Structures are given as C-alpha cells and as structure tokens.
Amino acid sequence: MHKPATQSDVAKVAQVSTATVSRVLNQPDSVSPTVRLRVEQAIGQLNYVADAAARALASKRSQCIGAVIPTIAHSIFAEGLEAFEATLNQANYSLMLTSSGYDEDQEWAQVRTLIERGVDAIMLVGYNHKPQVYELLQQRNIPYVLTWAFRQQSHHPCVGFDNFNSAQHIPEHLLKLGHRRFGLITGLPQHNDRVVDRLQGVQLALARHGIELADNAIVQCSYDVSAGRQACHDLMSLEPPPTAIMCSNDVLAIGALLECQASGIAVPQTVSIAGFDDLAISQNFTPSLTTMHVPVKLMGKKAAQYLVASLAGEQTPQHTLVDVSLVERNSCAAPPLK
C-alpha cells in the first residue's frame, strides 16, 4: 500500500513551497488563481487529505462548527441546515450536527461533547437552554448564535423571527373571514420557547376580539402527523365544533387535513385549517395550506455568516430579524352559514 501523500508531496508536484500549499488550503483567496489551480490539481492527483488534527494543533482551530437542533425528522430544520452548511463550506468550515429530541439534558450533554471535539462555534435553536450551556460557552469564549427566535433586548446573539408577533397573523386572518369558534393544535410547551410564544400570540390576538379559548379547545401534542390527526379528531368532536383550527406548525396542520379527509369533513367548507412554517408540501397539498412562511434558508445563511464573522474577529450585529409572512391558500374560507 502507498503511504498517504503529504503537503511536501503536493508542493513538489505543483512546484511551489509547502507554505503556498498551506495558504491554498486555509486562505485560498491569498493565492493567485493560476497557482491555486496547480495546487488543487496536485491535491487531486495525489488524493491528498489534510491532517485535521495537526492543523488544529497548529492553528488552535478545528475549522468545524457545531449545531444542535431539536430533531432531524422534519424538513423545516433540514432546509435551514442546508443553507447553514453551504455558507460554512464557502468559508472553509465544516458542520458537526447533532439533535436533542427537545430534551434539555440531552442538549447539554451534546454541547459538552461538541466542545470536547474542539468545535470553533455552535448554533442552537431557540432561547430555552440549561443555564450551564450558556455558562460553558461563555467560559470557553466560544461564539454561538440562537436561531428560530428573536428578542431585541436579549444578551444572546440571535438570528430569527418574533414567534409571539408572527403567531397573531393567522387568527387575525381567520377573524376577518368571520370565524368566532376556534380550536388550536400546538406542540408541547416544555423546553420549547417557540411553542409558548406562538400560543400566547394566538391567545392575545383572539382576546383583542373578546374571544377566549376553552381548555378543551387547545390540544397539546408531539410534532407528528398522527398526533395532528388525533388532535383534530378531538376538536371536531366538541359540541359545537370549531369552524377554524390553527396549528403551530405545518406537520400538525397536515395531520388535521388528513383526518378531515378520512372523516368526510370538508375543508374549508366546514372547517378552515391553518399551519405555520410553509413546508414545501404545504402548497401542493389538497387543499393547499394557508400558513406562515418562514425564510429558513435565509435564517441558516445569516446564522452561519454571523459565526464566521465572529471567528474572524469582525464586528457584526448581534441580533438579526428575518421577516415571516402570511401565505393565503385554499384551506381557509369564511365559516359555514349555520
């Protein structure tokens, strides 16, 4: 078997110094395109792979950024991560990903593991984290950014949107259509500030019009289609049933739509259904889903840019707000006359 190629081997084939090879690997923009192409061709010819451990020891950087997300089961996180990783790759950083299952203790263990692995920075989702997470990141002087949430007065850097204000758009839209009997399907609020903010936003919007949701009109459940179906069944079994069902994400809303189809309940003629997130499938469902569009790719890109800039010692805004917008489709209409 042949020995692995070294930087010296690459330098000989490309007819440059080992320092030039190092610059091509770590600071490609500092090398002329012609020389960079020669080095890249030599790397390909020799199947050279940089020694990450040696490079990290020399630079005190792993060129790797960690991310802890609640779940990898939902495409809404995957889309944002794709943009996050692509932006990191452009800056010569790699992504180390893990998921917590909405478990704070699990997340705390994962953050410790990422730091032990030597990541240079970390992305987290939301604001609710064990105090030890923030303490450790600050003790180690590790840049971090919170996503999917935005609080202007927060001490923590964030790239996200205001879940409380955003959640008010759907009930306001349904109220304008004439609805007065509502049901709400929401995720479990424990360890999830986004769920709490959206729930409170919906309740405030309804309260402005003198409407208070009864306890049995709010169903809390896990984030999956089957849970959305069961929650919809429970709501439509009330007497009288709601004429509009609001869901805290599109996964639950799709479950509600499927339950109505299976039960012969016409949407939106009998009941209107709305979601939150604007998954790709939502516009292709029948009927297409009214929802709140969240620019997840933009959020992922800006979160990565913040961390890269922080690692480079650049001054960058600590709080970045991305806009969400109401997307009106076919799953919502005026309530039935009777």
- Strands 325-327 and 319-321, by their bridges, are unpaired
Residue ranges per domain, the chain? Answer: 7-50, 63-163+295-325, 166-291
Q: What is the model's pLDDT at position 231?
A: 98
Q: What is the CATH number of domain 7-50?
A: 1.10.260.40
Question: pLDDT band at 269, cuts 50/70/90?
Answer: very high
For residue range 200-214, what is the model confidence (pLDDT) as tens digits?
999 999 999 999 999
- Strands 325-327 and 291-293, by their bridges, are antiparallel
For residue range 23-59, what is the model confidence (pLDDT) as tens digits?
888 778 889 999 999 999 998 888 887 765 455 545 5
CB 311 within 8 A of CB 121: yes
Tokens read off for 195: 């769920």
Q: For the chain, what is the mean pLDDT?
A: 92
Residue whose C-alpha is closest to residue 8's, from 42, 37, 35, 41: 42
Residue whose C-alpha is closest to residue 308's, from 92, 138, 111: 92
Considering the segment(s) 63-163+295-325 as one domain, its CATH architecture is 3-Layer(aba) Sandwich (3.40)
| pLDDT, average across residues 4-33 | 88
Q: For residues 52 and 63, what is the distance between their CA atoms, to the nearest angstrom?
A: 9
| pLDDT, average across residues 256-275 | 98
Same-fold call for 7-50 versus 166-291:
no
- Residue 196's contacts (CB-CB under 8 Å, 6 or more residues apart) are 189
Considering the segment(s) 166-291 as one domain, its CATH architecture is 3-Layer(aba) Sandwich (3.40)
Phi, psi of 76 (to 5 degrees): -60, -35
Which amino acid is located at 187 in the chain?
Answer: G
